[in-house]
Structure 1
C-alpha cells in the first residue's frame, strides 16, 4: 500500500465519532482549546464534546488521524484520563473557562428539573457531572479565579452549586482528603442546595427582604434535599450528611437541627465555607455582591465560633494565593497589582502601582474597589 496516497487526516462528522479515534487538529470553542491534537477519544469524551458543541451550535467536522494510514504503524498516543486533563488547560484564561461553567450549569439545571421522573438514572448523571468537574480542576487557577472575579451572578441555585462544588473540592484537596473522600465531597456539594427546587418559587425569587415566615420556609431546603435524596439507595450517607448539615454552625446557631461542633459532618463544614464565600461574592436579587477581599474577611470572622477555624485558615491561606498577581482598581482610579495578602488584614493587600509599592493597611483614604482582568 502506498501510504503517500492515503491522507493523514480525515474529517469526521460529530455524530460519527467513535472511541479510539485520535484527534488530528485542536478542537477549539470560542478560540480556546477544548481538546488538544493527538488525544485519543473515549466514549465519555465524545459524549461531553457533543453536548458542548451542541450548546455552541457548532457543526463542523472533526479532523482525526486516518486509521487506514496508521493502522499498521506502532504509535503511542495519549489517552484522556485523570492524569492528563484535556479540557481546561493550564494556558487558558479566566474568560476562557466560562463556557465550561455555562455548560455545567445548564446540565445541572436539566438534571435537577428531570430528577422527579427518573431519579435513579438522573442521580447517576449528577454523579458523573461531579466527576467531570473534578477532572476539569487539573489546572485550577483559571477556574478558581473565575469564581473569585465573577461569583455566580444572579443564579443562586445551579451556577452557585457548580461554584460551591469546585470550591469544596479545592478545600478538600488542600486539607489532604483522599481521592474517594474528594469524590463524595464534590458529589455532596453539587447536591447541597437541591432542596431549593422544592421551595415556593415566589419566596425563593423574592426581591425584597424576607418576612420571618418566609425565611423559615427557605430554611427547610436542607431537610427537603436530604429527604428526597435519602429515598435514592445509591446516594451515600456521607453525601446526605453534607446536604442536611451545610447550614449548621459550630456554636449551634445554624439550621435545621442546631447541631454543634463534632456533631456536624466534616463535609458539611467544608461546604459551609464554600457556600458562604460564594454567596457573599455573588450578586443576589436582594443584595449586591461584596468584594472578594470582604468575602475572605467574612470567612475569617465566622471562623471564630461558627465555621471550622482550621478549615477556614487553610481555605484563606490557599485561595488568597490566587489573588496575588491580579490587577485591582483603586478608589483613586489607578490600577495596581496585588503582591501580598496579610491574613491579619485581608482587605488591605500590598500592591504595586507602576514602580511604587503601596501597603494599603498603612495608607489612608486608598482602598481596592474591585479586582479586574
Structure 2
C-alpha cells in the first residue's frame, strides 16, 4: 500500500525499492524501517512510500490518525472478508510474518508443557516452503524480517525454509523435503526448556549458561521422539543438527558419515541464517560475506556436498540480477564462474565497468535487489 512519508512507522516493511531523484536506490524492498530510515526519507524529500500491509511484528499497519473501529465496523469488515475469502493471498511477507506469530504461540505452549502438535507445524510450515520453491528470490529476504527481540521465533521458520530448499537442491524427493522442513522448524523446539533468563540475556552467555543451551538438542529429541508424523531421520536431525563433520560439535561429538544428511543440512541452514540475522548480542552480516566465511572459516565442519548445495542455492545468481556491493556501488551480474558462485562478474551502473569479484577479496555483494 502507498502511504505518505509522515505516516510511515518504525517496523513497517518496504514493499518496493525506494529510489532517489537520480534513480539511485535509497532503501531496498523488504527493509524493516527504523528511525534512521525515516530520517533518510525526509532528507531525500521522499513523500510517498509503498509498504506491506503487515508490520514486522506481525500486526497490520494502521495509520496514526485512523480512529479505533467500532464493534459494528469490525463486524462489517469481518463479513466482507468472509465474502472475498479469508485465505486470499496477501503476499509472502504477510504470510511469513503470520507464520512466525503462529510459531510463537506454539513455542509458548511448549514452554508451559504442552506437547508438540506436529500436524499444526505441518499446516503452518509447508505452505511457506511451497511458495519459496516457486520463487527462490524470496530466500534473500528471510534474514531481513528478523529482529533481535523476535529472533527466537523467526529463526526456526527460516531454517525450515532453507533446509527444505537445500534438500531440494540435493535432489531429495518431495516427501523427504517435507520431513526436512518439519525437522528444521522443530530443530530448536528444545529451547522451550531453557530458562527465559538465558533466552532473553543481552550479554554473552557464561559457560554454565551455554551448557544449558546445549541441552536443547536432547530435550528437543525427547519432545518429538514418540510422534508418528516424523520419520526417524527427522527426529535424529533434531538431535544431531549441532554435530560437525570434524567431531567438534555436540551433543555426542559424532564425525563424518555418522552424522545424518538431514542433520548436516539443518546444521548449515542454522549457521547461515544465524550469521545473516540480527541477534541479541551479534549484528547480522551480509549474505555473500557469510557464504565466503562458511566456505573458508568453516571448512571441514560440513560435508562438502552440503556446502556446495548452499552455495548454489544462494550464491548462484541469474545473469541480470541487480546487486549492491560493499563499495556502495550498484550493478548487475553478467557472469558467474562455476567455481566462484559468491564472486560473479558485475557490471557497474555508474560507468559500466566490469568488476570481477573473484579478483577482489575485500569486495562482496551486500544486497540482492532483484
TM-score calculated relative to the size of structure 2: 0.70
CA distance in 1, matches of 2:248, 2:286: 25
If you compute each CA radius of gyration, which structure gives the higher value, 1 or 2? Answer: 1
1:157-180 CA-partner distances (Å, limit 9, x unpaired): 221111111011111111111122
The superposition leaves residues 197-233 of structure 1 with CA deviations (integer Å, 9 ceiling, x where unpaired) of 1111222222222222221121111111111222445
| Equivalent residue, structure 2, for 1:358 | 355
* Distance (Å, rounded) in 1 between the aligned partners of 2:185 and 2:250: 19
For residue 271 of structure 2, the aligned residue among 262, 272, 276 is 276
C-alpha distance in structure 2 between counterparts of 1:192 and 1:124, whole Å: 16
Contact 1:303 1:309 in 2 (8 A): no
1:130, distance to aligned residue in structure 2 (A): 2.9
1:147 matched to 2:173? The reply is no
Residues 242 and 265 of structure 1 are in contact (CA less than 8 Å); yes or no, is this contact kept in structure 2?
yes
Does 1:206 find its partner at 2:201? yes
Q: Report the more deviating stretch, 340-349 or 180-189.
A: 340-349
Q: Paired residue for 2:126, among 127, 131, 135?
A: 131
SS across alignment from 2:190: helix
SS at match of 1:350: strand
After the TM superposition, which of the residue ranges 184-193 and 362-371 deviates more from structure 2? 362-371
The answer for the alignment partner of 2:152 in structure 1 is 157
Cα deviation for residue 194 of structure 1 reads 0.7
Q: Please say if residues 164 and 275 of structure 1, whose CA atoms lie closer than 8 Å, have aligned partners that are also in contact.
A: yes
For 1:247-276, what per-residue CA distance to the aligned partner results, in whole angstroms no more than 9, with x for missing partners?
A: 000111001111111111111111011111
Equivalent residue in structure 1 for 2:286, among 283, 291, 316: 291
CA contact (8 A) 1:331 1:369 kept: yes
Matching residue of 1:119? 115
TM-score with structure 1 length normalisation? 0.69
| 1:242 match | 237
Counterparts of 1:368 and 1:235, CA distance in 2: 38
Unaligned runs of 5+ in 1: 1-29, 33-53, 66-79, 81-85, 89-95
Alignment of 1:252 onto 2:247: yes
Gaps of 5+ in 2: 1-13, 17-57, 61-73
Count of residue pairs the alignment pairs up: 295
TM-superposed CA distance for 1:285, in Å, is: 1.1
Alpha-carbon offset, residue 118 of structure 1: 4.9
